[in-house]
Amino acid sequence: MRQLTKISNFAGNTFAVWIIIFAILSYFIPEGFTWIAPHISLLLGIIMFGMGLTLTVDDFKAVFQSPKSVIIAAISQYTIMPLVAFGLAVLFKLPPELAAGVILVGCAPGGTASNVMTYLAKGNAALSVSATAVSTLLAPILTPFLTWLLARQWMEVSFWSMFISVVQVVLIPIVLGVLVQYFFKKQVEKSTAILPLVSVVGIVGVASAVVAVNRDNLLSNGLLIFLVVVLHNCLGLLLGFFVAKLLKLDYPSQKTISIEVGMQNSGLASTLAIGYFSPLAAIPSVIFSVWHNISGPLLATYWSRKGNEIQPPVSGVNIGK
């Protein structure tokens, strides 16, 4: 078990590397990965179940101890990224499927990797966990609604069908994970160390499948989508930080909200894109998955070296201290 834990930690720490390696492999050997595509929803469900196993009642106490920070994080998550995605789709005159895919990434909840990035950046870890949990629980309603609102001029969007899918692959697995963790706490504690490995395998599998079925489309559209994704992620990080600063949150919380806004649940976006639009629409989420696992660690490293000396904590806002 100890050896497996070491492997799991190594996989989690080198996540971006594995994404890149298998993206390249699936591009050059697509027949080795296309078989994964029909199982993408299952893989995401397993990842979300693992997230549920790590959530406890204490993770939600921060919501009530300092609701201002969590509310700012949630509102920023579901306004900045969707609107930036819409603006980029219009600005670059993206084809319908790619426009819908970019918007779908923007309408997804925060990614679980943001918690690790916040910790490394010396941000507000309690706020990060609460914000990710809240945005994920809001996803069954807000992700389909915002996608319908912003993407319908390019593609037909079924709110109710997408709502049911998000409930099935996100909400139900998370609730089951929380219940298992609550009733079998001791047993779960022994297995949580390997959850990073499970998440890495699942997300790498999703990304590899999407690349494999989109080999030709990547060749013709890859550079354009990469540019859009980089702008989307960087603008999300920047605007999230300045919104938190404008609303006078403390410096650790500013960093946290920046990371929460900029890092998306690209696995969910991939699943919904393939299920409701086309494999082509899933390309932005796969590229986003690769890129935000590069930009996130780079930003976290910069902030960790910079420290928290810039601004003193603001009383009553910095939760979990």
Is residue 314 a part of any domain in this protein?
no
**Per-residue pLDDT tens over the stretch 221-251:** 778 888 999 999 999 999 999 999 999 898 9
Count how many domains the chain has.
1
**Per-residue pLDDT tens over the stretch 81-127:** 999 999 999 999 999 999 999 999 999 998 777 877 887 788 887 88
Does 130 have pLDDT greater than 80? Answer: yes
Instruction: Return the percentage of the chain with pLDDT > 70, whole number.
Output: 92
Helices (H) and strands (E) in the chain, counts: 16, 0
Does 187 have pLDDT greater than 80? Answer: no
CA dist., res. 293 & res. 286, Å (int)? 11
Q: How far is CA 121 from CA 15, 125, 143, 269, 303, in A?
A: 17, 9, 28, 26, 5
Tell me, what's the pLDDT at 297? 79
CATH number for the domain harbouring residue 286: 1.20.1530.20
Is residue 226 a part of any domain in this protein?
yes
293 or 133, greater pLDDT: 133
Tell me, what's the pLDDT at 254? 92
Is residue 42 a part of any domain in this protein?
yes
Is residue 320 a part of any domain in this protein?
no
Coil/strand/helix, residue 155? coil
Is residue 222 a part of any domain in this protein?
yes
Highest mean pLDDT: which of 39-43, 115-119, 233-237, 282-286? Answer: 233-237
Is residue 317 a part of any domain in this protein?
no
Task: Quote the Cα angle for 220-221-224, to 5°.
Answer: 135
User: To the nearest whole number, what is the mean pLDDT of the chain?
Assistant: 82
Contacts of 111 (CB under 8 A, 6+ apart): 132, 263, 264, 265, 266, 292
CA dist., res. 146 & res. 115, Å (int)? 24
Quote the domain boundaries for residue 295. Answer: 2-306
Q: By the 8 A CB rule, do 286 and 204 touch?
A: no
Is residue 36 a part of any domain in this protein?
yes
Phi and psi for 121 in degrees, rounded to 5? Answer: -80, 0
From the list 280, 291, 299, 150, the residue with the least C-alpha distance to 227 is: 291
Is residue 311 a part of any domain in this protein?
no
